Amino acid sequence: MKQYQLSTGEKKFIGSHLLVAILALSVGSLFGPLQAFEHAGWDIYPYIKPLIKSYYQGLTVHGVLNALVWTTFFIMGFLTFNVMFGLKRPLKNPTLNKVGFWLMVVGVVAAAIPILANQATVLFTFYPPLKANWAFYLGLTLVVVGSWVEGWGLFMTYFAWRKENPKELTPFIAFASLVTALLWQICTIGVATEILTMLLPWSLGLIAGVDPQLARTYFWFTGHPLVYFWILPAYISWYAMLPKQAGNGKMFSDSLARLSFWIFLVLSTPLGFHHQYVDPGIPPVWKFIHSMLTFSVFFPSMMTAFTVIASLEHAGRKNGGKGTFAWIGKLNWSDPSVAAQLLAGILFFFGGIGGLANASYNVNLVLHNTAFIPGHFHLTVATAVTLSFMGISYWLLPYLTGKKLWMPKLAVAQAWIWFVGMIIFSNAMHVLGLLGAPRRVPLGLAPYVPPEWNSRLFQVGVGGAILFVSGACYLTVMLMTALSKETVKEEVEVPVAESMQDLALTPVWLDRWAPWIYGALALIVLVYGPVLFDLIKNIALTSPGFRVW
Amino acid sequence: MSAQPMHIHPYERNWMVFSAVMLVLFATAVSVAAFGMGIQVPAPEQRVDPRIVATDPNSPWSNPGLREVSPGKYDAYILAHAIPVWEYLPKEITVPAGSSVSFYVTSSDVQHGFKIQDTNANFMVIPGQVSKLTIKFNKPGTYNYICTEYCGSGHGIMYGAIIVTP
Ligand code: HEM
Ligand SMILES: [Cu+2]
Ligand SMILES: [Cu+2]
């Protein structure tokens, strides 16, 4: 049976997302190893001074390009692909989506100019009263607004499809992509409010001061669900694509997969205070409530783990795998897309355990803002998400360009090198954090570093060097594939796993949006409302801006 | 699509029950830690005006330092700032072993952090807010307090020390 095909124009549109994403990752990731080397005592910053003035300017580039630009562009491209391919129809209003995309591009450029001019060395969290040039805030706003517009384009496409197919169950990859886009629309209200009501007017000189505690609260309203916006697209691939790629497996349970996406939507926003456990301006009762809600996300995460592993097991057994664990070896490890995503998933398991520690009210006290935290999120966003996206691009780029993947063996090696480098890097960072080393510090120069930290700092450098090699391999494979003259003989197949469960059994309430959206909003009002109301009522715009970099 | 209740595989049901039990266990452990073991996190204490908090003669942070409130009990008013240089005032505090010290920390410019090494004290310092936490120092030694939030180019050199004498 022939698969649904995207038009050349549509492929180009998705490809443009991929291009911006990979450019951002290439530049952004360059600084990761530099930071790691600095920690190990190999300080390269003096040599790049004409370009990048400081460790912190580099760290701002690293955080913004990797965590915000690479992720957002890749995700918007992937979600758009999933909606079109899943619903088997073109976008309802392609112009709207194009407008959204270009708004994001203009936003990235607008934010990049002050960052490169050292006028926005505020890191990717831009906590006021550190004050960046207004173009930085405007640029971020445009990125968010652009992603909203693209999201609206996806929703319109869905409504059009629904009208044509009133009785049909939304195909899973489209469904899950729409929920992810929906989550993004809800949670970005926080950062949009922060920028539009405080930071932008303040940077333009329209108001004299800001309220830093309120700003942090708005920021983390978005900041936590942001991590679900990053990971859910990887889950879509793990649930519905990876089992197919790994050995023609089927997705274990369609209904539970859908249910877990809805639970993520409902639970992802009302728990941002776990990033503010040690903020002075938030009452402990609310911190505690958010910590309980944070733990409850454990539940859909466990459901995801179950379904993904069960689906992979199905693939492994189809490939002739036996035994309790031996089927793992029978998965298609020689396919770079599979290897990358499986390795990403393995490290995510450890990331999840670290996450439980962070979420714990008491353990967090010791870990807050230590090197443990970047150790943790390089397992999650920088590996579970990033390595999965790299894996996806190993089939998506050939699909979009019609070119054969250049040196698949190198691509497989790339995934393994990342895996090894990240284990060394992240393990050392976790241990440093437990020993008390702070994050966001050029530890090679800090005056209070005790000798016990040195061997670990060295390992950070070694891990960084290995990761650098892996990043370079990835870029080479992408570049050589795009430039290659060797085309694929047949259309690249989009890997979509069928459901093992009869789709007629999926209950109808899992395909209705309204109850879940109301539920999500109600919970947000319930657990954010009182605190935000209080903070806004007592707002004190008493912090003028500072440029202390 | 079906109007029937959801169909769940028995394995899945067992797994979900297991997950729910784990969840309850975690939640209980954290609650016990939070309430039973007296874990402290900073709570809304007092609002200040960061523009004058370091200069207003009525503000305790215009004269930061240690005050003995009763034998063995101290209040430590600590000011964090990036301007003119990255430092805490005072830079050093000396107390005898067995002392209980309540820290009141605020900032006159950007956000900072405050983490006392080898203790449970680790919190944000936010302009306009006061972070309070009480720590008992039993073991003699030097405890560095270091800045844990990016506060500009000098963030990595920002620290002070508590000296606990025998
Ligand atoms: C190429 C491999 C990489 C290496 C060696 C690396 C290394 C580092 C190091 C050492 C830090 C800590 C800096 C500090 O706290 O002072 C850091 C921070 C960070 N990294 Fe990476 N990284 C890499 C890739 C990535 C990727 C792929 C992402 C995201 C997709 C990422 C996201 C971040 C973020 C968000 C921060 C925090 C920035 C901040 O504190 O403002 N990194 N990285
Ligand atoms: Cu979070
Ligand atoms: Cu600092």
Q: What pLDDT does residue A303 have? A: 86
**Best residue of B28, B35, B122, B130 to probe chain A, by most A CBs closer than 10 Å:** B122
Q: Residue ranges of the domains in chain B? A: 43-165
**What is the structure's pLDDT at A440?**
96
Q: Which two tokens stand for residue A515?
A: 């109850």
Chain B residues whose CB is inside 8 A of the A211 CB are 128
Tell me, what's the pLDDT at B116? 96
> What is the spatial distance between Cα A452 and Cα A233, in angstroms, rounded to a whole number?
40
Q: In angstroms, rounded to a whole number, what is the distance separating the alpha carbons of residues B141 and A338?
A: 53
Reference A192, options A217, A219, A212; nearest CA is: A219
Q: For residue A254, what pLDDT is reported?
A: 87
| pLDDT at residue A375 tops 80 | yes
A355 in ligand 1 pocket by Cβ < 6 Å? Answer: no
Nearest ligand, measured from the Cα of A231: 1
The shortest C-alpha distance from B96 to chain A (Å) reads 23
Of the candidates A144, A146, A158, A132, the one whose C-alpha atom is nearest the C-alpha of residue A190 is A144
3-class secondary-structure state, position B144: strand
> Cα separation of A454 and A433, whole Å?
13
- Find the domain containing A514 and state its range: 8-441+449-537
A295, A306, A511 ranked by CB distance to B27: nearest? A295
- Give the tokens for residue A417: 């090198």
* Residue A445, pLDDT score: 85
Distance from CA of A15 to the nearest CA of B (A): 34
Contact B154, B124 (CB under 8 A): no
Q: How far are the Cα atoms of A402, A480, B166 from residue A467, in angstroms, in the given order?
A: 29, 20, 48
Residues 483-502 of A with CB under 8 A from B: 501
Distance A158 CA to ligand 3 centre (A): 47
Q: What is the CATH number of domain B43-165?
A: 2.60.40.420
Q: What is the C-alpha to C-alpha distance for residues A108 and A97, in angstroms, rounded to an integer?
A: 17
- Residue whose C-alpha is closest to residue A35's, from A464, A446, A549: A464
Render pLDDT for A243-252 as a digit per residue (tens, 0 to 9): 999 998 888 8
Q: What is the pLDDT of residue A506?
A: 83
Q: End-to-end alpha-carbon separation of chain A, Å?
A: 60
pLDDT of residue A200: 97
CA of A498 to the centre of ligand 3 (A): 52
The whole-number pLDDT of residue B37 equals 64
Task: Output the CA angle A181-A186-A192, nearest 5 degrees.
Answer: 110
**Is A368 one of the annotated active-site residues of the chain?**
no
Cα dihedral A118, A120, A125, A128, rounded to 10, equals 130
* The residue to which tokens 């290995």 are assigned: A466
Q: Which helix (H) or strand (E) holds B106?
A: strand B99-107
Residue ranges of chain B with per-residue pLDDT less than 70? 1-6, 34-38
Q: Look at chain A and count its residues.
A: 549
φ, ψ dihedrals at B81, nearest 5°: -150, 160
Give the per-residue pLDDT at A23: 97
Chain B residues within 8 A of A169 when measuring between CB atoms: 1
pLDDT at A390: 98
Q: How far is the C-alpha of A306 from the C-alpha of A281, rounded, in Å?
A: 39
Q: Residue A370: beta bridge partners?
A: A438
- φ, ψ (nearest 5 deg) of residue B99: -75, 150
Closest atom, ligand 1, to C-alpha of A443: 16
pLDDT in tens, A311-334: 999 999 988 888 888 899 999 999
- With an 8 Å Cβ cutoff, are B156 and A445 in contact? yes
A262 is written with which tokens? Answer: 């809805």
Looking at the domain assignment, is residue A82 inside a domain?
A: yes
Q: Which residue has the higher pLDDT, A505 or A105?
A: A105
In a domain, A2, yes or no: no
* Maximum distance among all Cα pairs of chain B, rounded to whole angstroms: 74
Say what the pLDDT of residue B4 is. 64
Q: Residue A342 Cα, ligand 1 centroid: separation in angstroms?
A: 22
The ligand minimizing its distance to the Cα of A269 is: 2
pLDDT over 70 percentage in chain A: 99
* pLDDT tens profile A102-141: 999 999 999 999 999 999 999 999 999 999 999 999 999 9
| Nearest chain B residue to A128, by CA | B110
Distance CA A248, CA A241 (A): 9
Tokens representing A29 are 């990731």
- Give CA A16 to chain center in angstroms: 18
Catalytic residue among A162, A317, A368, A440: A440
Interface predicted TM-score of the whole assembly (ipTM), two decimals: 0.93
A216 is catalytic: no
Q: In this predicted structure, what is the pLDDT of residue A297? A: 86
Element containing residue B112 per DSSP (H, E): strand B112-116
Write down the pLDDT at residue A301. Answer: 87
pTM of the model: 0.96
Question: Is A366 within the bounds of a domain?
Answer: yes
Longest dimension (CA), chain A: 69
Comparison of pLDDT for A147 and A506, the residue scoring more: A147
Q: Provide the mean pLDDT of chain A.
A: 94
| Residue A321 confidence (pLDDT) | 83
Residue A447 sits at φ, ψ, to 5 deg, of -75, -15
Helix axes A172-187, A134-164, angle to 10 degrees: 140
CATH number of the structural domain spanning residue A67: 1.20.210.10
Structure tokens at A54: 């400081």
Q: In DSSP terms, which residues pair with A487 in a beta bridge?
A: A403
Residue B3: predicted pLDDT: 61
Report the chain B residue with the minimal C-alpha distance to residue A126: B150
**What's B29-66 look like in SS3?**
HHHHHHHHCCCCCCCCCCECCCCCCCCCCCCHHHCCEE
* pLDDT-based confidence at residue A504 (cuts at 50, 70, 90): confident
Does the pLDDT at position A294 exceed 90?
Answer: no
Candidates B109, B111, B143: best to mutate against A (most CBs of A within 10 A) is B111
> Of the given ranges (A2-16, A43-57, A412-426, B33-47), which has the lowest mean pLDDT?
B33-47
Among A143-152, A295-304, B17-26, top mean pLDDT goes to: A143-152
d(CA A304, CA A287): 27
Q: Closest Cα to residue B66, out of B106, B99, B93?
A: B93
- Number of domains making up chain A: 1
Side-chain half-sphere exposure of A334, counting CA atoms within 13 A: 1
Sequence letter at residue B53 = V
